[in-house]
Chains A and B, each alone.
Chain A
Amino acid sequence: MLQAERTTKTANSSTTVTLHQLAHARAGDKGERLNVALFAYDPDRYATLLEQVTEERVLALFAHRGASRVRRYPLPNLAGMNFVIDDVLQGGVNGALNLDGHGKTLSFLLLSLEVNI
């Protein structure tokens, strides 16, 4: 079950939460390409995710890792979407010097994005 949503009041009375409060995710790798599948806990939040978790914002979130392209595939039946992020694995499972060459932990980088509700 969800914990009480930790929220931050903003001036226009909408609230900002981390994506982690609203959605769950899993990352997978093939070569230098990462996919992160994101699913709303509550299907009623799916529209919010579609509106705010855009290709542009995800590209910006992964820019420091060298991401070159992000494609988003919406899956309305699953209240989810699949992000495919290119060139973000710093060499991938065999070439990277980072601790997590698969990029498995990066699902939680996506979940750290802030969204307004």
Chain B
Amino acid sequence: MSFLLGSGAGFSGDRTDAAVAVVAELIKRQQPSALVFETLGERTLAAAHRAMRDDPESGFEPLLDELLAPVLRDCLDHNIKILGNFGAANPSGACQVIADLAAQLGRADVRIAQVHGDDIRQQLHRLDLQQWEAERLAMPDDDALISANVYLGAKALSEALAMQAEVVVTGRVADPALFLAPLMHHFDWRWDDWDRLACGMMAGHLAECGAQVSGGYFADPGFKDVPGLATVGYPIIEVEEDGSLIITKPAHTGGCVTEQTVKEQLLYEVHDPANYLTPDVTVDLSHAVVRQLSPNRVAVTGIRGKPAPERLKTTVCYEGGWQGEAEISYAGPNALARARLAEQVLRERLAFRAPAELRTRLDIIGLASVFDSDSGELQRSASASASGDYRLRLAAEHSERRWVARATQELLALYCAGPAGGGGVRRQFQRRVFTASYLVKRSDVHAHASLFESSALGEYRSECDAAS
């Protein structure tokens, strides 16, 4: 019998009602299964660490309650394991929220496990680090450091399931490891069975972004049409003991699972397809075959595995000064000339109202923006209708808040002192976070799991964590 992996969320900010249809389908199938929430992006973790610095009770996925409330009772009643990296910077805080929620649902006896060991901030400067190949950034100063987290593999999560945890809460782990762990626990695969590990890891890779494999992030009207995108079904992966995979989705949901949707997700964020590095296995996709079996059922075969890389990837987040944005719209007759004049005026103003090291970028949305360079090469050569609907956008960064505030205020002032008919100004600025990636030795990382014991102890632990 296959093991079913369901996806409940593919990023922090994903639809919070998506898991309901997935859980209904898992219950209907009456097979061993797990539901995974992947909610931790590269910079979500930095935001969580920063939030926790201000409020020790925060630091986990802000929508945790909203994500779990609709499905927690059903999952507990039907032995559907829940795994999520929604612990972010504060897994024990997330455990407490889940324990409270379960208690409200009449399941105060819920078994929740927490994964430890990803946070290496305290020992970072004592470790032997190698720079990740795609980056050339210098290690930040101590006082700028916000967080340093290793992408853990599936072992500690599988350990948590062996403790009969019903819910497993993690911080940073490799996203697909959230899916590999229940497979390792259920099938008892060996940790050097590279082909099976690779299949399990790719099951996770295909499902970790939620709807991106089942019709989300795919529609291109007239070319790639997707039915029912408003109610797109999140994926379910059927995994056999031999590692074979079938991607599908719940009945009566929107979206589609086709060879095309699966191929796009198979290569998503992959570099060399023959050497896709994960903490538990190096995956070789160069012989992968994708085949439609029936509507909304696609098989992936030919995935092979090789020994795991020697080092683990670590993301370091550090203070990156301030960034701000402001926008103003021009529409109707001669709008493009008015938008261009506004841009010119703003450049002139910033030249004497802001320091030279203020870094800025100006786009005219509607003319050229997302494809353009920082220097506006496309914008200068682009042609567009003189009358239309254009929006001048300023982005600025500086180490000091006041200069970013000043720059965006100069755009705001175009209301009364700029060209005719400008409107709809929005401005905002915030601290920015930089990230850098390094490779650490496996022997320097100590991942393990523990059962979350009681609310009192949980509170005590979060206080210790916050104080340390």
Instruction: Name the contact of B437 in the complex, choosing from A31, A75, A90 (C-beta under 8 A).
Output: A31
CA distance A97 to B344 in the complex (A): 19
CA distance A35 to B270 in the complex (A): 7
* CB neighbours of A39 from chain B (8 A): 260, 263-264
With both chains docked as a complex, state the minimum distance between the C-beta of A73 and any C-beta of chain B, in angstroms. 5
CA distance A105 to B371 in the complex (A): 8
The interface size of chain B toward A, counting residues with CB under 8 Å, comes to: 56
Given known A-B contacts A30-B134, A75-B285, A95-B320, A90 and B374 have beta carbons under 8 A apart = yes
Given known A-B contacts A31-B135, A84-B272, A94-B432, A37 and B267 have beta carbons under 8 A apart = yes
Q: Does B433 contact A (CB under 8 A)?
A: yes
CA distance A44 to B95 in the complex (A): 53
Contact yes or no, B217 A26, CB < 8 A: yes
Contact yes or no, B360 A64, CB < 8 A: no
Give the interface SS of chain A, mostly helix, strand, loop or mixed.
Answer: mixed
Contact yes or no, A26 B285, CB < 8 A: no
Q: Inter-chain contact count A-B, CB under 8 Å?
A: 129
Contact yes or no, B272 A94, CB < 8 A: no
* CB neighbours of B263 from chain A (8 A): 37, 39, 78, 80
Q: Does B130 contact A (CB under 8 A)?
A: no
* CB neighbours of B365 from chain A (8 A): 99
Contact yes or no, A97 B264, CB < 8 A: no
Contact yes or no, B395 A84, CB < 8 A: no
Instruction: Name the contact of B359 in the complex, choosing from A32, A97, A106 (C-beta under 8 A).
Output: A97
Q: Does B223 contact A (CB under 8 A)?
A: yes
Instruction: Name the contact of B433 in the complex, choosing from A37, A84, A90, A94 (C-beta under 8 A).
Output: A94
Contact yes or no, B370 A100, CB < 8 A: yes
Contact yes or no, A77 B225, CB < 8 A: no
* CB neighbours of A93 from chain B (8 A): 42-43
CA distance A65 to B268 in the complex (A): 21
Q: Show 5 residue pairs from A and B whose CB-CB distance is below 8 angstroms, ordered by the A residue.
A: A26-B218, A28-B268, A32-B135, A73-B286, A98-B369
